Amino acid sequence: MMTVHHVPAAGTTLTVHTAGAGRPLVLLHGFPLDHRMWESQTALADHVRLIVPDLRGFGGSAAAVATSMEQLADDVAALLAALHVTTPAVICGLSMGGYVAQHLAVRHPDRVAALVLVDTKLEADTPDARAARADLAAKVGRLGQGILADAMIPRLLAGSAAARGLPHRAAVEETLRRTILEQPVASIQAALGALGSRPDMTEAMRHVRVPTLLIAGAEDAITPPECLERAEEIMPCTRLLIVPHAGHMTPLETPAVFNAAVLEFLRHPPGTLGGAVPPA
């Protein structure tokens, strides 16, 4: 059972769902979703204090729109302060949430004990990808959120016959569609702009030395596993897991594998077994 909080952040109020006690684990959702994408991770609250915000512009935090990944990271720092979280947290982010987690690690290192970066990347958009986001924002303005759901859902989920045959596949599609249709058009358009203008984090992440788990869906069509393979090469203290039968939504598509990997990482983070974290 999650408790709902409404907490202040610069110029707005954010909705945050929490459950459990102990070590804080923050789950940051992808675009264009909200806290509901983490429903299958609620069981993790038996082990940690789960903190699951709706990022600015989405879900219960839609009173303001997102203008940059930096702003969303500052929001996470603000909500942790508002919730009186005094110890550094484990920050887990999927895709856009992963971009936010990286900025949090760089801008607010005192807030971050460890990272879980899921179906995401360090690099910025190419000029073509940025132009495609601008086109999509204009289309959503003309035609509404349905066009976004239609365009994104087939790319969010793994396409192989084995993945399409997973018993919960229809329920996952339904959750994604419902969630996308409920996000305000202005929020979607603003976030597409913020995603398109996000900086390349490759150099900055070379210096982030907290234990980091990288999780990639083997069939991710949006941020293919090579993105996190590149991150593994440059970040000092990482472990990479590539999950079969998962696309860009690994925590929803393969929740048992995902949850077990996170719990194992919390018990034995890289750098604590089999070698020390290299000196800064």
- Chain residues that interact with ligand MLT, rule: CB under 6 A: 30-31, 95-96, 195, 222, 248
Instruction: For ligand MLT, give the closer residue by CB, 104 or 237.
Output: 104
Beta bridge partners of 243: 217
Instruction: For ligand MLT, give the closer residue by CB, 19 or 156.
Output: 156
Spatial neighbors of 226 by CB under 8 A, at least 6 apart, are none
Give the nearest distance from C-beta 123 to ligand MLT in angstroms. Answer: 10
Task: Report the C-alpha gap between 265 and 260 in whole angstroms.
Answer: 9
Give the nearest distance from C-beta 241 to ligand MLT in angstroms. Answer: 18
- Residue holding tokens 């995603």? 195
Instruction: For ligand MLT, give the closer residue by CB, 120 or 269.
Output: 120
In 3-state terms, the chain is what percent helix, strand and coil (to 5)? 50, 20, 35
Give the nearest distance from C-beta 96 to ligand MLT in angstroms. Answer: 3
Instruction: For ligand MLT, give the closer residue by CB, 16 or 96.
Output: 96
Give the nearest distance from C-beta 95 to ligand MLT in angstroms. Answer: 3
Element (H, E) at 4: strand 3-9
Instruction: For ligand MLT, give the closer residue by CB, 71 or 95.
Output: 95
Q: What is the dihedral of CA 187, 84, 49, 228, to 10 degrees?
A: 50
Element (H, E) at 6: strand 3-9
Give the nearest distance from C-beta 221 to ligand MLT in angstroms. Answer: 10
Task: Report the C-alpha gap between 108 and 130 in whole angstroms.
Answer: 27
Instruction: For ligand MLT, give the closer residue by CB, 45 or 116.
Output: 116
- CA distance from start to end of the chain: 41
Instruction: For ligand MLT, give the closer residue by CB, 148 or 266.
Output: 148
Give the nearest distance from C-beta 50 to ligand MLT in angstroms. Answer: 20
Give the nearest distance from C-beta 97 to ligand MLT in angstroms. Answer: 7
Instruction: For ligand MLT, give the closer residue by CB, 176 or 208.
Output: 176
Range 114-135 burial, b when 16+ CB lie within 10 A, else e: bbbbbbbbbebbeeeebeebee
Give the nearest distance from C-beta 30 to ligand MLT in angstroms. Answer: 3
Spatial neighbors of 267 by CB under 8 A, at least 6 apart, are none
Q: Write the burial class of residue 105 (CB in 10 Å: 0-12 exposed, 13-18 middle, 19+ buried).
A: buried
